[in-house]
Amino acid sequence: VVSTQSTGKRKLAKGSSAPKTFYYVKDIQYLAHEPLLQKFAETKIFVKKVKKALGREELDTVQRVRDQKPQYTLDHIVRERYPNFADAIKDLDDALCLIFLFSTMPRQGKVQPGIINKCRILAVEFMHYVIAAKCLKKVFVSIKGIYVQVEIDGNDISWIIPHQFTTPPPSNIDFKVMLSFLELYTTVLGFVNFKLYSNLNLIYPPKALEDVFTEKSSIYYGDDMYRERLESLNIRLAEVPKLEEDEEIDEELLAGDETLEDLVQSRKEEESFKNLFKECKFFLSREVPREILVLIIRSLGGEVSWSSESSAASTYDETDPDITHQIVDRPSQSHQFLSRCYLQPQWVFDSVNQRKLLPVDEYVAGCLLPPHLSPFVSAEGYLPPEQVELLDRNKKEEEEEVEEGPGGEMTPEEKR
């Protein structure tokens, strides 16, 4: 329902020149049949009964009335607004931004803890899907937060993950309006998460793989330790048994078509990017932002762990000899292992944006870091000098690879 501009404004306003908003009568009649209006009327009566009982100090009546509080859902509104799953995916950016924002709100404030808890659950579920689907594309760290972009069904979804700092809610914000949008967005993301998990044959609500046959059934139930393990993003999720296996593309049949050859090549490059950290084993120090690093590393096929004293779901200790990279944010370490690299967190972010493992010389602990460039800047507009230098360097490396051939060997044309 949208407002309209009428040619006879003064006539409709009965001669008044005050600004007014006009709607079509049929739209208002359509809204009059909305089931939520009846629920809102019942809620208004409920509030009056509670106030009346409190005024009379009838505590038993207050408890009895509160037990009969009217309940409503927004499921039918979501189905009307998003008739197709693709429509919901395209409108997911704002929903993720608001839900991730409220998931980091302080428990004691203007927002009820139950709402914050629900937002946190939905955010964790979505991050688990990103890890399972390996759909991460870009990451950028800014003052506002961490910009993340994923690709779902061919659509690029971008949102901001706030930094893990508890900040008091500002006093000049109308939380009633934001909570109204949040109520709709939590319902939408609940539907979307269920559909996304179903597409990957994952059990929803999510279950840890080792807890499938136990009483701990989901993130909504169980003790605090079980929920902490799920929120760590470092556990495998249980899957629904597959009935049929997907057919793989036969590359030999596609060898004669250049267009399909390009498609196969692009898929190979995409698979290579999804396993960017497959040969890497990370250990995170306690001073680095753990959640976003675990999301990135596991989304690209890497293994990651941390000290068991700082959080649950630690899979190996710092003394593991197979660790290849340790992410630190201190200029010096009390003890070091010669078999691994001690790098700053920016190396992980820049490697994702460049879609390759960058040299570690410029990211060693204690070194002055290179500029952290945004991957969301288009090449058509202004580019900073550092971005131009990086593009030239990448172009030069690609030319050298073409001249040398794969693995530094001679190309088939050179052999002939």
Q: What is the pLDDT of residue 221?
A: 47
Q: How far apart are CA 387 and CA 195, in angstroms?
A: 39
**Spatial contact of 128 and 197, defined as CB atoms under 8 Å apart:** no
Q: In this predicted model, what pLDDT tens digit does every residue of 338-387 receive, in sequence order? A: 889 999 999 999 999 989 999 899 899 888 888 888 888 766 666 677 77
Instruction: Give the span between the Cα atoms of 351 and 136, in whole angstroms.
Output: 13
Rounded to 5 degrees, φ, ψ at 14 are: 60, 45
7-25 pLDDT tens trace: 666 666 676 767 777 788 8
Q: Which residues pair with 139 in a beta bridge?
A: 148
> Which pLDDT score is estimated for 412?
44
pLDDT band at 245 (very low <50, low <70, confident <90, very high): low
Q: What is the pLDDT of residue 415?
A: 40
> What is the phi-psi region of residue 317: left when phi exceeds 0, alpha when psi lies from -120 to 50, beta otherwise?
beta
Alpha-helical runs (H) found in 166-257:
175-199, 224-231
DSSP 285: -
**pLDDT of 15:** 65
Q: Give pLDDT, residue 381.
A: 64
Q: Tokens for 406, please give them.
A: 């794969």
Tell which residue, 90, 76, 77, has the closest CA to residue 192.
90
Q: Which of 38-52, 165-179, 265-279 has the lowest mean pLDDT?
A: 165-179
**Phi, psi angles (nearest 5°) of residue 203:** -75, 135
- Provide the β-strand partners of residue 150: 136, 157
Give the pLDDT score at 216.
47
How do strand 146-152 and strand 155-161 relate by DSSP bridges? antiparallel
Angle between helices 346-354 and 290-299 (to 10 degrees): 30
Cα 271 from Cα 286, distance rounded (Å): 31
pLDDT in tens, 246-305: 445 454 444 455 577 778 888 888 888 899 999 999 999 999 999 999 999 999 999 999
Looking at residue 332, what DSSP letter applies?
A: -
Average pLDDT over residues 173-192: 92
Comparing 196 with 259, the larger pLDDT belongs to 196
pLDDT-derived band at 164, boundaries 50, 70, 90: confident
